[in-house]
Amino acid sequence: MSIEYLHTMVRVKDLEKSKAFYELLGLEESRRMDNDKGRFTLLFMSPPGQENAAVEMTHNWDGDEGLPSDSRHFGHLAYRVDDIYAMCQKLMDAGVTINRPPRDGHMAFVRSPDNISIELLQRGDPLEPKEPWASMENTGHW
């Protein structure tokens, strides 16, 4: 018996705003399905060449008043990046709050526009600690 990872599903309130956030992380749209009868869109995004690591964003056309909630039962999405400092700077420059800065040169957490916790991990060995990250405090929670 085998098992294969398919995707992680998250509900989003503003599909285009969420898509732009995941594009900042380097993900690309790999598939989209609009369901007129059900009045929803499924948008799949994944790192280039890694369609098996997709995020499925479910957008209900008539809204979803429960979003964004702060329920923590979801957990988080995790992505490995080549340069955690460069990625965090790119996100900060785009107005994204770094909830848990990469003080250790290895791990950071941010949140999507829909309050989804995103873990960023440095590929390979941790980078040498450096400012402003080394002394940056946490903001909120992840």
Selected catalytic residue, list 29, 51, 56, 119: 119
CA distances from residue 109 to 6, 11, 58, 90, 97 in whole angstroms, order as listed: 23, 19, 22, 14, 9
Q: Please tell me the distance from the alpha carbon of residue 67 to that of residue 11, in angstroms, as a whole number.
A: 8
28 among known catalytic residues: no
> In this structure, what is the dihedral angle of CA atoms 5, 7, 8, 11, given to the nearest 10 degrees?
-160
Helix/strand/coil (H/E/C) assignment for every residue in 72-92:
CCCCCEEEEECCHHHHHHHHH
**Residue 15 CB: number of other CB atoms within 10 A?**
18
Retrieve residue 33's tokens: 């399905």
Residues labelled catalytic: 119
